[in-house]
């Protein structure tokens, strides 16, 4: 499979991994899928474990399993991410997103293994007028965001040299996400109504995966003190959900597809169990300064995503790139990313 990514590097950032595998906690989610694909393309040994193999609520099982794999680094993409459902079962959400993440971090620390933990823009309440920096005070609006914020603190307490990456509005050719929802609705609805007063940074999971692998490489081969702490990493450029939908439909129209009418609505017109921040924009300049990493403009990356979903390169059998994963079973991570966007 061919995956086109749009990630920019500053000079002299090339590093090499060891022969020990990277352990990816999470298997079928959007980011985990892209991590698996990119690791295979680059010849990096990697082991991706889903909930059946690596249950974050089985603390003793975590220790035994990771010990048997002896990874060079751990990337934790696993989480409870069904944002609206989380409101009705907070104990389970915190058990996974805080306590499970802490258990994973503790094992990584005891084994002297670098840990990269994925977090979310939902740790903020969205009242800031500008993009959020890492130093801004979090104030989550919902159970999911609160659990992820608690998870950040628990991870860094258990593993002081861990890297915590907050990301925003992830989409990809895989699983459930806003782009795939808009593609489905473009085929079935004459009119699509999308929230226009929530803003963020659409982030292509394949771009993010490439950046995360680079950070993992640096954590393994370099001074971990330089990679420790919280970093924001999101696509360049901002948009509302309405803007995002408009860009998707513009691309579809350019490719000759039928598109529906599009109407902007307010957050109040699309009630959900969990409150969403009006402003989810993340300032990613710290990651650029520290790692020399800058994700590509989201509109450019959207073209790459749609190349795989509706047109673009084909394999030797004439299948469009990405077809094998397009109907893969959805993990909690994939469902959660869908829940985090307006599922109209």
State the Cα angle at 180 between 179 and 182, rounded to 5°: 65
Report the pLDDT value the prediction gives residue 105, as an integer from 0 to 100.
95
Our CA angle for 135, 136, 138, nearest 5°, is 120
Interatomic CA distance for residues 148 and 79, integer angstroms: 9
If one counts every other C-beta atom within 10 angstroms of the C-beta of residue 149, the result is: 21
Dist CA 295 CA 302 (whole Å): 12
Of 195, 182, 202, nearest to 278 (Cα)?
195
Q: Which residues are catalytic?
A: 144
CB hemisphere CA count around 149 (13 angstroms):
17
Whole-number Å distance between alpha carbons of 86 and 91: 9
| pLDDT tens per residue, range 121-172 | 999 999 999 999 999 999 999 999 999 999 999 999 999 999 999 999 999 9
pLDDT of residue 18: 61
Residues in contact with 120: Cβ distance below 8 Å, sequence separation at least 6, in sequence order: 144, 145, 148, 166, 167, 168, 340
Q: What is the pLDDT of residue 175?
A: 86
Does this model's pTM top 0.75? My answer is yes
State how far the Cα of 70 lies from the Cα of 65, in Å rounded to an integer.
9
Q: Cα separations (Å) of 311 from 135, 308, 318?
A: 41, 6, 11
d(CA 44, CA 117): 19
CA distances from 75 to 217, 311, 337 (A): 11, 31, 18
Q: Can you name the residues that pair with 262 across neighbouring β-strands? A: 192
**Phi then psi dihedrals of residue 9, to 5 deg:** -115, 145
Residue 340 token pair: 């985090």
| CA 247/CA 249 separation, integer angstroms | 5
Nearest alpha-carbon partner for 170 in 33, 56, 75: 33
Three-state DSSP state, 220: helix
| CA distances, 227 to each of 30, 101, 223, 291 (Å) | 24, 18, 7, 8
CA 317 to chain centre: 30
Tens digit of each residue's pLDDT, the chain (344 residues):
444 445 544 444 444 556 789 999 988 889 999 999 999 998 888 888 888 888 888 877 888 898 889 999 999 999 998 999 999 999 999 999 999 999 999 999 999 999 999 999 999 999 999 999 999 999 999 999 999 999 999 999 999 999 999 999 999 999 889 999 999 999 999 999 999 999 999 999 999 999 999 999 888 877 778 889 999 999 999 999 999 999 999 999 998 888 999 999 999 999 899 999 999 999 999 999 999 999 999 999 999 999 999 875 433 333 344 433 333 322 233 333 332 233 32
- What pLDDT was estimated at residue 15? 42
Alpha carbon distances (Å) from 265 to 12, 41, 83, 96, 240: 46, 42, 21, 34, 11
Residue length of the chain: 344
Tokens of 81: 């991410």
């Amino acid at each position: 499979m061919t995956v086109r990514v749009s990630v920019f590097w500053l000079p002299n950032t090339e590093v090499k991994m060891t022969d020990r595998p990277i352990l990816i906690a999470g298997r079928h989610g959007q980011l985990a899928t892209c991590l698996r694909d990119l690791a295979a393309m680059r010849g990096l040994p990697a082991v991706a474990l889903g909930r059946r193999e690596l249950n974050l609520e089985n603390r003793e099982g975590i220790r035994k399993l990771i010990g048997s794999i002896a990874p060079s680094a751990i990337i934790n993409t696993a989480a409870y991410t069904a944002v609206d459902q989380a409101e009705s079962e907070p104990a389970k959400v915190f058990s996974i997103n805080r306590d499970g993440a802490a258990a994973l971090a503790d094992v990584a620390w005891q084994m002297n293994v670098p840990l990269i933990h994925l977090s979310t823009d939902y740790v903020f309440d969205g009242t800031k007028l500008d993009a959020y920096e890492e130093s801004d005070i979090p104030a989550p609006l919902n159970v999911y965001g609160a659990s992820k914020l608690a998870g950040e603190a628990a991870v860094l307490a258990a593993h002081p040299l861990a890297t915590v990456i907050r990301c925003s509005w992830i989409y990809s050719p895989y699983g459930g996400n806003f782009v795939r929802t808009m593609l489905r609705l473009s085929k079935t609805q004459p009119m699509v109504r999308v929230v226009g007063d929530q803003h963020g940074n659409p982030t292509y999971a394949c771009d993010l995966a490439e950046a995360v692998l680079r950070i993992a490489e640096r954590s393994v081969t370099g001074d971990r003190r330089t990679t420790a702490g919280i970093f924001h990493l999101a696509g360049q450029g901002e948009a509302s959900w309405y803007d995002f939908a408009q860009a998707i439909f513009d691309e579809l129209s350019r490719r000759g597809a039928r598109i529906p009418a599009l109407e902007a609505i307010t957050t109040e017109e699309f009630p959900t169990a969990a409150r969403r921040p009006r402003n989810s924009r993340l300032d990613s300049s710290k990651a650029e300064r520290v790692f020399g990493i800058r994700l590509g403009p989201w509109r450019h990356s959207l073209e790459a995503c749609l190349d795989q979903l509706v047109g673009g390169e084909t394999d030797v059998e004439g299948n469009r790139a990405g077809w094998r994963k397009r109907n893969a079973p959805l993990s909690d991570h994939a469902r959660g990313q869908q829940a985090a966007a307006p599922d109209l």
